[in-house]
Chain A
Amino acid sequence: MATLKELSKREELLAGGHRLCAGCGASIVVRQILLAAGRNVIVSCATGCLEVATTIYPYTSWRVPFIHSAFENSAATACGVEAMYQSLKRRGKLPVDEEIKFIAFGGDGGTYDIGLQSLSGGLERGHDFLYVCYDNGAYMNTGIQRSSSTPLGADTTTSPAGKVIPGKQQYRKDLTDIVEAHHIPYLAQASPHNWKDLTQKVEKALSIKGPKFLNVIAPCHRGWRAGVNQAIELARLAVETCFWPLYEVEDGKLTINYKPREKKPIIEWIKLQGRFSHLLKPENEHILRRLQEGIDAKWESLLRREGEK
């Protein structure tokens, strides 16, 4: 449980000079995670904004070992690295006192959709690794296409708010629930605005053996059509409106890490983002209501479940 001052003394493991957008939420998430994790990690990353912008040959921003192989297989790739670690350790070919952790990154694109199988396989087989999804709610790197994590009603380039169809027609998938069904020792949702909660979760996860999962909201001002300086503000509001509850499940036991004193209506979050601007029209009020209902239902169920001990 480090203070900011203590964290600031640690080595920056994501070097400057990467080409993620100014104000990118994902880079804030990754910086915080690496500060919490320390140097003895090997990172695997799916194709996407994070991977592409941090490893443009001949430059790399990673000060730890890093591998990108393809889009849908960050988990499988990490599992391969971890398997080699287990094997070589068992064969006495690695330094005895050196413990290495494995972190696989993927965007919501590379995790919820094309990467779901690979994630599921890795979790099910029980590899000792941490999977972190940086969730910006769309396939951002290829130009803001909808993913199964895109919120209901959002305008994306493949679910445009058009004259006939007003944005994405489906609720977003609850990946954290799907991960929970794999009965892994630890999973949680986090947000970069609450650096303390996020870094604590990383430290806790890495102290546990077996598969772990962190779903972290990573606001993308470009895709969300918001101000370049609003990533942290949007993350905070996502939590305050309970769109993105901060909770953890450790060995099946649920703990809600943050309960807003005053749960804000989702419109407070919606109105800051251009991708939802059409939802403020009276004819789309029903979509806004469905969105609110979905958020409320999830929040209620979390509260109920936590209450049942």
Chain B
Amino acid sequence: MGKPVAMTGNIAVANAMRQINPDVCAAYPITPSTEVMQQFASFVADGKVDTELVTAESEHSAMSACIGAAAAGGRVMTATSANGLALMWEMLYIASGNRLPIVMMVVNRALSAPINIHGDHSDGMGARDSGWIQIYSENAQEAYDNLIQAVVIGQHRDVRLPVMVGMDGFIISHSIENLELLSDQEVKDFIGEYLPLYPLLNIKQPVTYGPLDLQDYYSEHKRQQAEAMKLAKPVILKVAQDFAALSGRKYGFFETYRLDDAEMAILTLGSSAGTARFVIDRAREQGVKVGLIKLRLFRPFPMKELQAALGHLKALAVMDRCDSFGAAGGPVFSEVRSALYDLSPHPAVVNYIYGLGGRDLGIAHIEQVIRDLQEIRQTGSIRELITYLTVRE
């Protein structure tokens, strides 16, 4: 059914964008996402898409132009990483506050300082309060698939929220993998026609975007956003269902591996899931009842669903590929732990901060995590709540 290709994550994503053929793309280069836009710019120059490409002079202006374009009334996409995402920080909130379904590929990279161009989740996680739907990808196939689904999710009339799709910088963005592309027509049919809401370009019905809310209305507009996040969950599942019918590839809020009969598990996002699966298989051969849960959807956070999936575990290791300095653990850990708090009994949950700035997560590291989980399982107590896994002491 699909066309098998060998591509890097960036090129796969650029091809997804080609097939989506958005009305406007406004972007600014930053490593490691640059290649997405470079490849897309070639598609524009070769007439393979007729997207209006705006080569903005900064990420802040790129997102501003995306907002103008989306409010004008059409399909808008962009891509960035790390400090580029950080530079457009205020605009992320403005995009979601204005309920504009912009779709952005975030090639996850560490935030400065010191400057580091390699993969970690500090950029996406840093934007977790911005009101964007957040989906994380394990590999190039997922990045491609997620980006296409993101378009349909964001534009849904119950949702109308911007969506960011993440993939690990360099690890996935620059590695060649085998994946399957859908046909151009399949993607076109899947995403359908874009129906704008309150388009500026409808000058017969002039609207005003971005007013001043005083104390009397801001709360109500924010409550609407919270509602949209709630309503996004069933939409995300329905879109995944439709996508599965088209591609044969199934998606949900997360993906479990050997979890049903597990006593212990590792929860992670992104490419590290691949390494974890390999080590878990080896552990299973030794009779260790350990499983994996790979979280795909971070916003909205699938609290109830995680409770259901993880409640039976005795011990859970949550892997964070970024830190939240001074917080009660990494971002994923604090939210997962909070979700499990309501269960009685609930698994012992521990946190591993790993892979910052592209630091390799190796087999030995996962083996250590599994050993720690076993210790918790046996002793019933936690020696170390938060461990910095891949750092030299």
With A72-B60, A84-B72: A67-B211 Cβ-Cβ less than 8 Å: no
- Assess whether A17 is interfacial by the CB under 8 Å rule: no
CB of B361 to closest CB in A, whole Å: 38
Within the assembled complex, what's the spacing in Å between the Cα atoms of A55 and B94?
16
Chain B neighbourhood of A76, CB < 8 A: 56, 60-62, 64-65, 68
Taken residue by residue from 21 to 63, chain A's Cβ proximity to chain B (1 for < 8 Å, 0 otherwise) reads as: 0000000000000000001101010000001100111101011
- Assess whether B388 is interfacial by the CB under 8 Å rule: no
B209 and A68 contact, CB distance less than 8 A: yes
With A52-B212, A87-B74, A117-B57: A67-B201 Cβ-Cβ less than 8 Å: no
* A-side interface size class: 35 or more
- Assess whether B71 is interfacial by the CB under 8 Å rule: yes
- Assess whether A299 is interfacial by the CB under 8 Å rule: no
Within the assembled complex, what's the spacing in Å between the Cα atoms of A184 and B271?
48
Within the assembled complex, what's the spacing in Å between the Cα atoms of A300 and B79?
49
- Assess whether B364 is interfacial by the CB under 8 Å rule: no
- Assess whether B52 is interfacial by the CB under 8 Å rule: yes
The number of residues on chain B lying at the interface, defined by a beta carbon within 8 Å of a beta carbon of chain A, is 44
Q: Which single residue of chain B is at the shortest CB-CB distance from A13?
A: B206
The A97-120 residues at the B interface (CB cut-off 8 A) are 98, 100, 117-118, 120
Chain B neighbourhood of A57, CB < 8 A: 211-214, 217
Within the assembled complex, what's the spacing in Å between the Cα atoms of A246 and B11?
52
Taken residue by residue from 222 to 251, chain A's Cβ proximity to chain B (1 for < 8 Å, 0 otherwise) reads as: 000000000000000000000000000000
A120 and B57 contact, CB distance less than 8 A: yes
Q: Which single residue of chain B is at the shortest CB-CB distance from A77?
A: B68
With A67-B210, A76-B56, A121-B57: A83-B217 Cβ-Cβ less than 8 Å: no
CB of A229 to closest CB in B, whole Å: 27
The A59-103 residues at the B interface (CB cut-off 8 A) are 60, 62-70, 72-73, 75-88, 90-91, 93-94, 98, 100
Chain B neighbourhood of A39, CB < 8 A: 203
CB of A230 to closest CB in B, whole Å: 27
Chain A neighbourhood of B57, CB < 8 A: 117-118, 120-121, 124
Within the assembled complex, what's the spacing in Å between the Cα atoms of A87 and B44?
12
* Selected contact of A65 from candidates B23, B54, B206, CB within 8 Å: B206
A42 and B67 contact, CB distance less than 8 A: no
CB of A6 to closest CB in B, whole Å: 22
Chain A neighbourhood of B363, CB < 8 A: none
B214 and A81 contact, CB distance less than 8 A: no
- Assess whether A125 is interfacial by the CB under 8 Å rule: yes
B61 and A44 contact, CB distance less than 8 A: no
- Assess whether B55 is interfacial by the CB under 8 Å rule: yes
Within the assembled complex, what's the spacing in Å between the Cα atoms of A151 and B242?
62
Within the assembled complex, what's the spacing in Å between the Cα atoms of A51 and B203?
19
* Selected contact of B201 from candidates A44, A65, A73, CB within 8 Å: A65
With A62-B206, A83-B26, A84-B72: A69-B67 Cβ-Cβ less than 8 Å: yes
B72 and A73 contact, CB distance less than 8 A: no
Q: Which single residue of chain A is at the shortest CB-CB distance from B194?
A: A93
Within the assembled complex, what's the spacing in Å between the Cα atoms of A70 and B91?
8
Within the assembled complex, what's the spacing in Å between the Cα atoms of A118 and B51?
22
A70 and B64 contact, CB distance less than 8 A: yes
Within the assembled complex, what's the spacing in Å between the Cα atoms of A127 and B108?
31
Chain A neighbourhood of B54, CB < 8 A: 79-80, 83, 125
Of A52, A57, A66, A91, most B-chain CB atoms within 10 Å: A57
With A68-B209, A68-B210, A118-B61: A86-B68 Cβ-Cβ less than 8 Å: no
The B30-68 residues at the A interface (CB cut-off 8 A) are 50-52, 54-58, 60-62, 64-68
- Assess whether B385 is interfacial by the CB under 8 Å rule: no
* Selected contact of A87 from candidates B52, B62, B217, CB within 8 Å: B52
Q: Which single residue of chain B is at the shortest CB-CB distance from A66?
A: B208
- Assess whether B119 is interfacial by the CB under 8 Å rule: no
* Known pairs A90-B50, A121-B58 / 6 extra A-B pairs, C-beta < 8 Å: A65-B207, A66-B206, A73-B64, A76-B62, A80-B67, A83-B68
* 10 nearest A-B pairs in the assembled complex, by CB-CB distance: A80-B68, A80-B65, A121-B57, A68-B210, A84-B72, A76-B64, A73-B64, A76-B61, A87-B52, A60-B208
Using a CB–CB cutoff of 8 Å, the interface residues on chain A facing chain B are 39-40, 42, 44, 51-52, 55-58, 60, 62-70, 72-73, 75-88, 90-91, 93-94, 98, 100, 117-118, 120-121, 124-125
User: Can you list 30 A-B pairs, Cβ within 8 angstroms, ordered by A?
Assistant: A42-B201, A51-B212, A56-B212, A57-B213, A65-B200, A65-B202, A65-B206, A66-B206, A66-B207, A67-B68, A67-B200, A69-B64, A70-B64, A73-B64, A76-B64, A78-B68, A80-B65, A80-B66, A80-B69, A81-B71, A83-B54, A83-B65, A83-B69, A84-B23, A84-B52, A86-B52, A87-B74, A88-B74, A118-B57, A125-B54
